[in-house]
Amino acid sequence: MKNYEKYKKLYDWKKPVNRTWPDKEITEAPTWCSVDLRDGNQALANPMTLEEKIEFFKYLVKIGFKEIEIGFPAASETEFKFTRYLIENDMIPDDVKVQVLTQARKPIIERTFESLKGAKNVIVHMYNSTSVAQRKFVFRKNKEEIKKIATDGAELLVEYAKKEPETNWYFEYTPESFTGTEVDYALEVVNDVLKIWYPFLKTKPIINFPATVECSTPNIFADQIQYISENILDRDKMIISIHSHNDRGTGVATSEMGILAGADRVEGSILGNGERTGNADILNIAMNMYVTGVDPKIDFSDLQEVKKIYEKCIKMPISPRHPYVGELVFTAFSGSHQDAISKGLQAARKNPEEQWDVPYLPLDPADVNRQYEPIIRINSQSGKGGVAFLLENEYGYEIPKEMRQELGYFIKDVSDKQKRELSSQEIYEAFAKEYINRKDKMSLVEFNMKTKNEDAINLEVVLEINGERITKSAEGNGPVAAFTKILKEMGYDFEFKFYTQDAQEDEEREGEKANVITYIEIEHDGKGIWAVGKNENMVRSSLKAMVTAINRILK
Ligand code: KIV
Ligand code: ZN
């Protein structure tokens, strides 16, 4: 590629003296703050309507967010009205803080406080840009002048908050474009803001460090956060928050490493909606914790609902491969993956008290209201395990291990011929047509079995072969042996190789007798031929399996 020399590193990298974050693990959830209704919403071509914002807000409360940025009330009438709506309709639970964004300018701050009259717990989130580029091109101000915007704003927040002592005030300051700001300068600005807020606030001030634009690998951001954490004024009296965007596709990793480096709080949005490539995806970060045994403290146990509300209010498509939520997340196309998943799931079902360890499935779909059915789709690359898994889980056939290979090849062949993936229904239909109760050439019309003595029975069968009925009988130590004798006497040449029966569990037949499924393999011309019989009667089920095998030889 040409032109790479045109670009330079944007970050000012501060390495902590004693770097500790790489050795850490995430062991508890940070404080989460959803910015779906502000950063996320402002990035939509069609921002949410009042009704949609209300619905989304209720959902965020329901799943456990305690800090929710509801908008930028001074920026538009809709945002102002929404803030008033929540307050006047008493929709903000006592344990939830709503957060509003404001620039560090007097008229904006004034209007922001106007929108908050009567609220119980509020985080006023003030920001101004501190980066080199913004100072130079946008504000044309030097470092001191930019810092003064922040400190003047900080004083105004105190002034306006004093007029409303009924409200519990929480303050947040963001040096916007932090990733393009010299780290020591950012520290200087936030420390001066803290000096103004500490004497007034009863609550811990929040200082938020955004990767407004992601411009480094996440480890650089983590170094910066550790350095800040070690040098910020009275660290234990304040809260370090982080707010990453996703320009390099590493918003989640940046937030995770930021937590390791000392951040107490994470701002982001569900599924990462936000400016440009979006914000850090809180669901992704939270679920990453969940699958390592850490309680994320947000309830994402219904991912179907997440998807529904996202599609309704945000109106953006979700990638089928989006972590945890995408349509294909619990699907395996590869045969070897399917086989391993099927074995892993069987083991998990047998020992539900054991910790989850299923190959290729980092998460039990049932824990997030996803289902087992769509886990495996069969296409021409699918192996034996996938087909057997599907027939067992969706149709109650426990295909014997020994039969799976032949069946796998058979289904693969059907898929190859169709040149497409087969649905589970199509797989079942192909299996049933080829293997179960066949009567295309020969069929069992009726049978009669009489006990001769302790060790022998006499079996009489009426068969229809190519439209002609014949009656035959033979003795044997059981119906299978007797029928084998009859068939051999009729000239069918085969050896019996495998026989098993089990009862089919079928919820739809509740109260009725269960079907008995017989699986047999015979050897004919040096080749194994599998067949399945299905009937409520054990003997009839066996005889039908044998008739099916003959039909398969005759084809
Ligand atoms: O990305 C950003 O820097 C922001 C701030 C206003 C927090 O959204
Ligand atoms: Zn942002």
Same domain? 150 vs 254: yes
Residue 507 has pLDDT above 80, yes or no: no
Q: Which atom of ligand 1 is nearest the CA belonging to 174? A: 7
Residue 373 has pLDDT above 60, yes or no: no
Same domain? 489 vs 541: yes
Same domain? 392 vs 480: no
pTM for this prediction: 0.83
Ligand 1 first shell, C-beta below 6 A: 39, 101, 127, 174, 176, 208, 210, 212, 243, 245
377 pLDDT band, cuts 50/70/90, is: low
Same domain? 218 vs 263: yes
Residue 1 lies in a domain: no
Name the closest ligand to CA 209: 1
Q: Give, using CA atoms, the residue closest to atom 1 of ligand 1.
A: 212
394 pLDDT band, cuts 50/70/90, is: confident
223 or 373, which is more confident: 223
380 pLDDT band, cuts 50/70/90, is: low
403 pLDDT band, cuts 50/70/90, is: very high
Over the stretch 436-458, which tens digit does the pLDDT of each residue have?
Answer: 999 999 999 999 999 999 999 99
Cα–Cα nearest to 56, from 337, 256, 431, 315: 315
- Least confident span in 95-104, 148-157, 371-380, 387-396: 371-380
Q: 242 CA to middle of ligand 1, Å? A: 10
Q: Give, using CA atoms, the residue closest to atom 5 of ligand 1.
A: 176
Residue 555 has pLDDT above 90, yes or no: no
Residue 468 identity = E
pLDDT at 383: 67
Residue 14 lies in a domain: no
Over the stretch 63-75, which tens digit does the pLDDT of each residue have?
Answer: 999 999 999 999 9
Residue 324 lies in a domain: no
Same domain? 485 vs 363: no
pLDDT at 514: 86
Give percent of the chain above pLDDT 90.
Answer: 88
Residue 8 lies in a domain: no
Same domain? 86 vs 193: yes
Average pLDDT over residues 509-522: 84
pLDDT at 386: 82
DSSP labels for 61-102?
A: HHHT-SEEEEE-TTT-HHHHHHHHHHHHTT-S-TT-EEEEEE
Choosing from 409, 435, 461, the residue where a domain stops is 435
121 pLDDT band, cuts 50/70/90, is: very high
Over the stretch 302-356, which tens digit does the pLDDT of each residue have?
Answer: 999 999 999 999 999 999 999 999 999 998 888 788 888 888 998 998 999 999 9
Map 485-501 to HEC letters.
HHHHHCCCCCEEEEEEE
Cα–Cα nearest to 266, from 34, 82, 72, 38: 34
Q: Where residue 211 sits, what CATH number does that domain have?
A: 3.20.20.70
Choosing from 314, 345, 377, the residue where a domain stops is 314
pLDDT at 397: 94
Q: Which atom of ligand 1 is nearest the CA belonging to 178? A: 3
Most informative mutation of 127, 240, 277 for ligand 1 (most atoms within 8 A of CB): 127
Same domain? 143 vs 170: yes
Average pLDDT over residues 410-438: 91
DSSP labels for 223-258?
A: HHHHHHHHHSTTGGGSEEEEEEB-TTS-HHHHHHHH
pLDDT at 337: 86
Q: Which residues, by Cβ under 5 Å, contact ligand 2, an ion?
A: 39
Same domain? 453 vs 518: yes
Average pLDDT over residues 98-109: 98
Most informative mutation of 101, 103, 207, 242 for ligand 1 (most atoms within 8 A of CB): 101
Name the closest ligand to CA 214: 1
Same domain? 352 vs 455: no
Residue 2 identity = K
Same domain? 160 vs 27: yes
Residue 238 lies in a domain: yes
Same domain? 74 vs 218: yes
DSSP tag of 202: S
Q: How many domains does the chain have?
A: 3
Range of the domain at 378: 335-435
Q: 130 CA to middle of ligand 1, Å? A: 12
Same domain? 181 vs 297: yes
Q: 200 CA to middle of ligand 1, Å? A: 25
Q: 176 CA to middle of ligand 1, Å? A: 6
Q: 278 CA to middle of ligand 2, Å? A: 8
pLDDT at 508: 53
Residue 48 lies in a domain: yes
416 or 448, which is more confident: 448
382 pLDDT band, cuts 50/70/90, is: low
CB burial of 102-127 (b: ≥16 within 10 Å; e: otherwise) equals bbbbeebbeebbebbeebbbbbbbbb
Choosing from 416, 435, 454, the residue where a domain stops is 435
Task: Give CA–CA dist 149/189, Å, rounded.
Answer: 10
Q: 513 CA to middle of ligand 2, Å? A: 62
pLDDT at 422: 86
56 pLDDT band, cuts 50/70/90, is: very high
Residue 330 lies in a domain: no
Over the stretch 16-52, which tens digit does the pLDDT of each residue have?
Answer: 999 999 999 999 999 999 999 999 999 999 999 999 9
pLDDT at 375: 57
pLDDT at 110: 98
